[in-house]
Amino acid sequence: MLNDREKFIEENKNFVYKIASSICKRRLSWENDDELSIALIAFNKSIETYDNKKGNFFSYAKVIIKNSLIDYFRKSTKNISVYLGDEELITFETKNSMEKYEIEEENKIRAQEIAYFTLKLKEYGISFSDLVNNSPKHKDTREELINVAFLVSRENQIVERLIKTKQLPIKQICLLTAKSEKFIEKWRRYLIALILILTDSDLMYIKSYLNIKVGEKDD
């Protein structure tokens, strides 16, 4: 539905910014740079055109944003000179160099996110080793927990209580999801990690690995 889409786009503006900034190789401003408008339109397009056969949504969205910006650069003489130098086409060597640079930049962003996520988890008394030792081994259980975390992430009152107290409000979550206290308590650490990933706009790359279904068509 339209409101859900607008909310989803707003929640992921930081993701759009990171991709656009990485492609443009500079900091951008929402108020002054057309590149961000182009990227935001492309992100909306990716929601409209995405289906599960196209793989991870955020990986798909990145390709749509990148292609839209490159098309924009090619149509703008000013931006071509900035982005491609004096040539109208990217040489094979330049293309390889750009791709290598983009991979390096993505790796830096991922490393920064992991470091940030590690610090966030510490606030809740959780380490990565805790997550490894308390992660579900069965796919069905993982999907069930992602669904629980997704429902919780949409309930501001529960999320705010979690952030404030650093404790999972188990009874509220049980009422919301119809899951048993035993189930929620067993996967408490894992659920906290999932909820943090789903609600923190600075964890977009990590979030993309969850491969949550998004972008339903408007009714």
Give the domain CATH number at 54. Answer: 1.10.1740
Tokens 């048993």 locate to 180
Q: What average pLDDT does the segment 143-150 reach? A: 91
How many angstroms separate the most distant Cα atoms in the chain? 64
**172: pLDDT strictly greater than 50:** yes
Query: 114-140 pLDDT, tens per residue?
Result: 888 889 999 999 987 878 777 888 888
* The pLDDT of residue 99: 58
Mean pLDDT check: name the lowest of 60-69, 105-114, 157-166.
105-114
Q: Is the residue at 98 inside a domain?
A: no
Contacts of 192 (CB under 8 A, 6+ apart): 121, 124, 126, 162, 168
Into how many domains does the chain fold? 2
| Domain that residue 47 falls in | 2-89
- The residue among 93 and 25 whose pLDDT is bigger is 25
89, 106, 140 - which closes a domain: 89
**81: pLDDT strictly greater than 60:** no
* The pLDDT of residue 134: 78
* The pLDDT of residue 144: 92
Q: Is the residue at 105 inside a domain?
A: no
- The residue among 201 and 181 whose pLDDT is bigger is 181
Whether this model's pTM surpasses 0.75: no
